[in-house]
Amino acid sequence: MGSLAVLAKQQGHKVSGSDLGVYPPMSTQLESQGIMLCEGYSAAHLQPHPDLVIVGNALSRGNEAVEYVLNTGLRYTSGPQWLADEILHDRWVLGVAGTHGKTTTSAMLAWILGEAGLKPGYLIGGVVNDLPASADIGDSIFFIVEADEYDSAFFDKRSKFVHYAPRTVILNNLEFDHADIFPDLGAIQKQFHHLLRTVPSNGLILAPRNDPAIEEVLDTGCWTSVERFGPDTEVTPSRMIDSNLCVGDWSASAVKKDWSEFEIEYNPVSGDKQTSTVRWPMFGIHNAKNALAAVGAAHHVGVRLIDAASALRKFNGVKRRMELLAEVSGIYIYDDFAHHPTAIATTLEGLKVQLHSRGENSRIIAIIEPGSNTMRGGIHQNKLAEACMPADEVVWKRPVDSQLDFEALCAENGDSRVSFSEVHEILAHIFTIAREGDHIVVMSNSGFEGIHERIVDGLASR
């Protein structure tokens, strides 16, 4: 919603918004853009009456602002519908979908096209270190959008990405998530199939090699050419869609174990093999997969592999995605946007491999707030303990309304797994155990009561 506000402001509209507990980096971005932010959902925020109200999918009937909009007959729409009507029409849309990596992959793609001089527009669900804002109208036919499967609004339960009509689509991966609106994985796959129905036959779908859930979606119907992507250790699935639709393959092989340097290889069905090497500030096989998808999408709109690889060498990531906040007395503090066990596992494992590749035997301390509706509801109880295995110490924040069994989460690993209900208790524990050489990863999809800055300040004053 913050990114939509930026786009509306660039169109010349006077823009204001209402939300609860907005925190950096989005709050600071909105302020820098001159967009007024109102705390809470008071009807007074809709005075004088705006010409249009864009309603976010977090709001439902009974909300004061929603009831006022309906009772007074104000014109309203959903965010995805407004984006489709006002921004995306007559443009070549590149959509990035999947359970994990949407924000990072969208940011990579926007960066690559920008470096290639294509001046794309983009809407990204996070603040990118290398871009001036999380959204921009752009100055070309190309527009990159983070294509989320979450529903559009209380009055439109279709997934957001069904509105976008992309010509180039990345299907990064697919797992069960958003348990508050989807009863099972099949329900999400149905929405992904609806997305495929909107992709033109002269477009392109980039699909991972080793994702059974994505294969099942493709098997339900595909009318568009497909290119596969994945590390060279992964094989193309034995169950394939119509072979005539598979027109190319993108693979990556690690030059360095932590994937801070890797080689990309492109094998089109009709054409010669191409290769190029990426040396960049990022690490982890998950980021290499994201890069492959972004390079493949950029190639579809005319960016050469060698130019895309060159752009990635200067890519510095997204805020709150393993963002190094500070180093205090030899202790490193990171901020990571965690919302799913797989994301937790890949992030921690990537850091562990990076440290080992540098010959470091440093401890990893993970502080995790299971803030998403799915994690709080206990859906991933059985996966969370395993996801945290790469961490030497795990500190859980117990949300008030959580259905997770934290006693069970901590039981298997003795004193190295603990949980607390209050942030000040977590801070006291961290200040007791942290020592030089530690890497502290704060994993949350909320502001976490400013714990990041409080850790930095507390360590500095010890």
Give the per-residue pLDDT at 238.
Answer: 53
Whole-angstrom distance, CA of residue 169 vs CA of residue 425: 45
Give the per-residue pLDDT at 243.
Answer: 63
Of 252, 242, 327, nearest to 285 by C-alpha is 252
Whole-angstrom distance, CA of residue 386 vs CA of residue 381: 10
Residue 462: CB partners within 8 Å, gap ≥ 6?
Answer: 329, 431
CB 239 within 8 A of CB 217: no
Whole-angstrom distance, CA of residue 104 vs CA of residue 116: 18
CB 377 within 8 A of CB 183: no
Give the per-residue pLDDT at 79.
Answer: 96
Give the per-residue pLDDT at 407.
Answer: 85
The strand pairing partners of 108, in sequence order, are: none
First to last CA, the chain: 39
The strand pairing partners of 38, in sequence order, are: 18
Give the per-residue pLDDT at 241.
Answer: 59
Q: Domains of the chain by range and CATH?
A: 2-74 (3.40.50.720), 80-312 (3.40.1190.10), 323-460 (3.90.190.20)
**Order of strands across the sheet with 121-123?**
135-136, 121-123, 142-146, 92-97, 168-171, 204-208, 225-231, 246-254, 261-268, 274-279
> Which tens digit of pLDDT belongs to each residue from 429-455?
999 999 999 999 998 877 788 899 999
Torsion of CA 258, 248, 117, 126, to 10 degrees: -50
DSSP letter string, 208-236: ESS-HHHHHHHHT---SEEEEEEETTSPP
Q: 98: burial class by Cβ within 10 Å (0-12, 13-18, 19+)?
A: buried
Q: Return per-residue pLDDT of the chain as tens, 462 residues.
A: 888 999 999 999 999 999 987 777 778 888 888 899 999 999 999 999 999 999 999 999 999 999 999 999 999 999 999 999 999 999 999 999 998 889 999 999 999 999 999 999 999 987 788 888 889 999 999 999 999 998 999 999 999 999 999 999 999 989 877 767 888 899 999 999 999 999 999 999 999 988 999 999 999 999 999 999 999 877 666 555 566 788 889 999 999 888 889 999 999 988 889 999 999 988 888 899 999 999 999 999 999 999 999 999 999 877 777 788 888 989 999 998 876 788 888 889 888 988 888 788 899 999 989 877 767 776 778 788 888 899 999 998 988 878 888 888 888 666 789 999 999 999 999 999 999 999 999 988 777 888 999 999 999 987
| pTM for the structure as a whole | 0.80
Compute how many other C-beta atoms are within 10 angstroms of the C-beta atom of residue 121.
23
The residue type of 338 is A
Whole-angstrom distance, CA of residue 221 vs CA of residue 156: 24
